[in-house]
Structure 1
Amino acid sequence: MSPERDKKKGFAKILGCCRQAQMDSHEWVWIDTCCIGKTSSAELSEAINSMYAWYGDSEICYAYLEDVPSQPHSPYYSSPEFSSARWFTRGWCLQELIAPRTLELYAAD
């Protein structure tokens, strides 16, 4: 493992996703930020058009709300941070919200 890579915020999110998937007994993960090539506009367009089906075929979708702190003993949906999370303002996140059978939202910490 690279010490520099291990310090990056994105790497921690990927590692957290893999750990959660392992705890949930899932053998594989697909992470859109890692698995979609953004250098080719054709590949990006094809991926965006396919994502609803991919999320729909998934067993579970984990969504990371980077701007929502965890709130022990309080439901997230009652917090102002949750209702104003940037995740809800991003158009492509709608398919993450409605396509999968199960969606789990994770706070920043």
Structure 2
Amino acid sequence: MHQINLDMKACMDACHECYVTCLHMAMNHCLEMGGKHAAPEHMKIMADCAQICAVAIDFMARKSEHHRHICRECAEICLACASSCEGLDGMEDCVAACRKCAEACDKMAA
């Protein structure tokens, strides 16, 4: 049987949602808002978050033996992104997606 288990599927879904949310918010909402939303450190963590989510999905889809430590890194970066987004207007969806992804990735990393 070569199906992906339910925990891994849930994690991949959470990573995908986080990837799309961070990329969309960074390239649209944050750039349009300017100011703190477009600060280099904030834009970089959002790009890092989107990219590590894409990498985590890839590693899980391939059932790489290294997916656990990629998921651990993903959880850490997602939490950093959530912290960066907190307190900025209109970023609630991003914070929620990052926290959900971090939780799912922590489970996969265990």
What is the TM-score of this pair, normalised by structure 1? 0.29
**Which is bigger in relative contact order (C-alpha 8 A, separation at least 6)?**
2
What is the TM-score of this pair, normalised by structure 2? 0.29
Q: Structure 1 or 2: larger helix share?
A: 2
